[in-house]
Structures are given as C-alpha cells and as structure tokens.
C-alpha cells in the first residue's frame, strides 16, 4: 500500500540572501491584489521574484489547465537561475499534477519548495517518490499578502529558513512523560487522506504526523482519522501532533463531540502518543514546519519539538 523510501533524504540548498524566488500556483488562482502585496513584500526583503503564468491563469477553480501547472513547476525546478519555489496559494488541484511530474528529474534538481494546505499533496508526493525535504509553510498570496503580516508567522517562517531547524515548546499534559524520535510529516488531513493508497503516499514508518484542517465538519475529521487507522498508519507511525482545526460555518450534525473526544476515541486502541495545541493550521499566526526531516518530541507537562536534522544540505 505504501511506496518505498530511498535510503537518503534529498535536501535543498539554502535560499541565499538576494536570491531568486519563483512563485507558482499549482492549485487555484490567487487573488491578484494579495499576490501583488506578497511579491512586493519579498522584493522589499531583497529577493528577485519571478511570477509564473499560473498565478494569473484560470480554468474553473484551477490556476490554468493541468499541463500548464505541471510544466511550470517542472521548469522552475530545472531552471538554474531559481533558488527557491514558493506557492501563491492552495485551494484545489495539486493532485492533478502528480501523474504529470517527472520525479527523477526533480530529484536531480532539488529546490526549496514552500506551500501549505492543498500543497500537502505535492509535498507528500515528493517525499514518497524521491525522499525530498520541503516546507509546509506560509504562501505568497495568503500569509504574505497583507500590509500587516502576522509577526508570529513572519518570525517563525524566516527563522526556519535561516536556521533550517525547529525548536517548539507546547503546553503539555498530565500523563506520563514520553520521548519519541522520527521524521516529521505535517499536512492538511483531508488532502493527505485523499492520497492514501496511491504511489504518492509516503511510508508511515517512524513518522511523527502533524495534522490540521479547515472548514471540515466533525464527522469528516473523524472519518479521515479513521481512514488512517484502517490503513495501518498508526501501527507504523511514532506519534501524532494536532494543529488547528478551524471550525466550519455550519456543522451538519446537531450532536457534535468535542475535537479532543474524537482524537481520543480514534486513537485509544493504538499505542501511539498524541498531543494538540500546535499553532499549525489555517490561522494567521501559523508555524511553518519542515516535511521529512528527523525530529524528537518530548511529551509531558511541557512538550518540546526539536529538529535533529536540518532541512538543508550541508
């Protein structure tokens, strides 16, 4: 069911100061005014920004047709003048690209890819197919598309890109202390679940899963979590960290359990530690996270999450 991993992580080079950033939209077309604000923000920091055609293309709810979006992403990976690739926004459509991408060519041209939400599909596929490290983080036409950018997001985002590491402290729980190690695998729960059973779904062995979601009713959240359970993922993974689950405008069911109740009843049959409270999700003050690098988690009254490996090549 799961694809095999290559033995060594493929890591991108650091984004150099005054480097060149390509902006692409693998899913849905961004709002132009937000995109312009985000591009201006990056330029004021000294970066050269190349905006792809997908950012102004539109086909229904997609940023142009699948071939355009796939070829643009491939071209940015293979262009030696591009230092990093940032996604404009999420939405829907990233999974359309998976059969159209040449993962062998991407593996030979590793670059820093940054995105979030629907971009989960690309990040998990890159990990599954070529064991490449990416960043699940803020995007140009959303998190950077404000006159006043959230200071927590901004600080954590550039700290990750500067150091290549994470060091996070959370309020813990009263249970017994536990210490685990594994590779961090963050993403939007609904997006990741749709990829399950395909060649683009990573091996769950020793993963520390980090889940978040937005606008999903409670029964669907529970369904996605149980889909992972049925797949055997929780028997292979080392631990789970829950981020923010932004509530939908309207719940379909009247009698809705608490989110913590859902976590407990899904995970109780499994010997896997889990905790919530991470500022990772569809929120302004989101923490950007690496995808695929080794980390350690110390669960207890104070929970710490620390990198044991950089996102960048040495």
CATH number at 38 reads 3.40.50.10740
C-beta separation of 281 from 213 below 8 A? yes
**pLDDT recorded at residue 172:** 78
Out of 114, 147, 180, a domain closes at 147
Helix (H, G, I), strand (E, B) or coil at 118: helix
Q: What's the mean per-residue pLDDT of the chain?
A: 95
Q: What percent of the chain has pLDDT over 70?
A: 98
What would the mean pLDDT of 43-65 be, rounded to a whole number? Answer: 98
Residue 161 resides in a domain: no
The residues, ordered by sequence, that sit 6+ positions from 175 with a Cβ below 8 Å of its Cβ are 299, 300
Domain count across the chain: 2
Q: Do 110 and 56 share a structural domain?
A: yes
Q: Do 179 and 262 share a structural domain?
A: yes
Residue 1 has pLDDT above 70, yes or no: no
β-strands 239-246, 207-214: how paired? parallel
**pLDDT recorded at residue 174:** 76
Q: Do 139 and 206 share a structural domain?
A: no
Residue 2 resides in a domain: no
Residue at token pair 């993962």: 103
**pLDDT recorded at residue 88:** 98
Out of 147, 176, 192, a domain closes at 147
Sequence length of the chain is 314
Q: Do 175 and 126 share a structural domain?
A: no
Residue 290 resides in a domain: yes
Q: Do 244 and 282 share a structural domain?
A: yes
* Nearest of 290, 296, 306 to residue 273 by alpha carbon: 296
**pLDDT recorded at residue 314:** 79
Q: pLDDT (tens digit, 9 = 90+) per residue, 111-160?
A: 999 999 999 999 999 999 999 999 999 999 999 999 999 999 999 999 99
Upper half-sphere CA count for residue 38 (Cβ side, 13 Å): 26
Q: Do 196 and 273 share a structural domain?
A: yes
Banded pLDDT at 176 (limits 50, 70, 90) = confident
> Bigger pLDDT: 299 or 210?
210
Banded pLDDT at 5 (limits 50, 70, 90) = very low
Residue 137 resides in a domain: yes
Residue 63 has pLDDT above 70, yes or no: yes
Out of 112, 147, 182, a domain closes at 147
The residues, ordered by sequence, that sit 6+ positions from 109 with a Cβ below 8 Å of its Cβ are 77, 78
Residue 4 has pLDDT above 80, yes or no: no
Distance CA(210)–CA(203), nearest Å, equals: 15
Q: pLDDT (tens digit, 9 = 90+) per residue, 254-272?
A: 899 999 999 999 999 999 9
What would the mean pLDDT of 201-217 be, rounded to a whole number? Answer: 97
**pLDDT recorded at residue 134:** 98
What would the mean pLDDT of 207-232 be, rounded to a whole number? Answer: 98
Q: Do 98 and 27 share a structural domain?
A: yes
**pTM for this model (two decimals):** 0.96
Q: Which residue range is the domain that position 103 belongs to?
A: 20-147
> The CATH number of the domain where 250 resides is what?
3.50.30.60
Q: pLDDT (tens digit, 9 = 90+) per residue, 65-97?
A: 999 999 999 999 999 999 999 999 999 999 999
Residue 6 resides in a domain: no
Residue 212 has pLDDT above 80, yes or no: yes
**pLDDT recorded at residue 7:** 61
Quote the crossing angle between the two packed helices 259-267 and 218-231, to the nearest 10°. 20
Q: Do 199 and 300 share a structural domain?
A: yes
Residue 162 resides in a domain: no
Q: Do 256 and 301 share a structural domain?
A: yes
Residue 14 resides in a domain: no
Q: Do 178 and 99 share a structural domain?
A: no
Q: How many CB atoms lie within 10 A of CB 68?
A: 16
C-beta separation of 158 from 138 below 8 A? no
Residue 158 resides in a domain: no
N- to C-terminal Cα separation, the chain = 33
Sheet (strand 84-87) strand order: 48-51, 20-24, 84-87, 112-115, 134-136, 289-291
* Nearest of 27, 21, 177 to residue 94 by alpha carbon: 27
Q: Do 243 and 120 share a structural domain?
A: no
The residues, ordered by sequence, that sit 6+ positions from 250 with a Cβ below 8 Å of its Cβ are none
Q: Do 182 and 121 share a structural domain?
A: no
C-beta separation of 214 from 249 below 8 A? no
């Amino acid at each position: 069911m799961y694809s095999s991993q290559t033995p060594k992580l493929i890591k991108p080079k650091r984004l150099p100061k005054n480097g060149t950033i390509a902006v692409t939209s693998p899913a849905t077309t961004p709002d132009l005014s937000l995109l312009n604000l985000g591009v201006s923000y990056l330029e004021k920091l000294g970066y050269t920004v190349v905006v792809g055609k997908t950012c102004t293309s539109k086909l229904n709810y997609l940023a142009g047709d699948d071939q355009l979006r796939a070829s643009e992403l491939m071209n940015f990976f293979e262009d030696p003048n591009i230092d990093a690739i940032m996604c404009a926004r999420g939405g829907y459509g990233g999974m359309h690209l998976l059969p159209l991408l040449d993962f062998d060519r991407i593996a030979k041209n590793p670059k820093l890819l940054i995105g979030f939400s629907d971009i989960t599909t690309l990040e998990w596929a890159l990990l599954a197919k070529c064991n490449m490290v990416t960043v699940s983080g803020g995007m140009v036409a959303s998190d950077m598309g404000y006159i006043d950018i959230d200071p927590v997001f901004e600080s954590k985002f550039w700290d990750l890109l500067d150091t290549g590491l994470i060091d996070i402290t959370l309020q813990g729980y009263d249970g017994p202390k536990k210490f685990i190690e594994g590779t961090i695998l963050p993403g939007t729960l609904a997006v990741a679940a749709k990829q399950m059973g395909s060649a683009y779904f990573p091996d769950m062995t020793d993963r520390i899963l980090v889940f978040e979601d937005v606008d999903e009713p409670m029964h669907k959240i529970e369904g996605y979590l149980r889909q992972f359970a049925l797949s055997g993922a929780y028997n292979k993974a080392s631990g789970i960290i829950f981020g923010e689950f932004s509530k939908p405008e309207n719940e379909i069911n009247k009698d809705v359990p608490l989110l913590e109740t859902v976590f407990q009843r899904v995970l109780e049959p499994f010997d896997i530690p889990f905790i919530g409270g991470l500022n990772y999700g569809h929120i302004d003050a989101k923490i950007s996270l690496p995808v695929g690098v080794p980390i350690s988690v110390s669960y207890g009254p104070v929970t710490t999450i620390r990198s044991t490996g950089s996102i960048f090549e040495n």
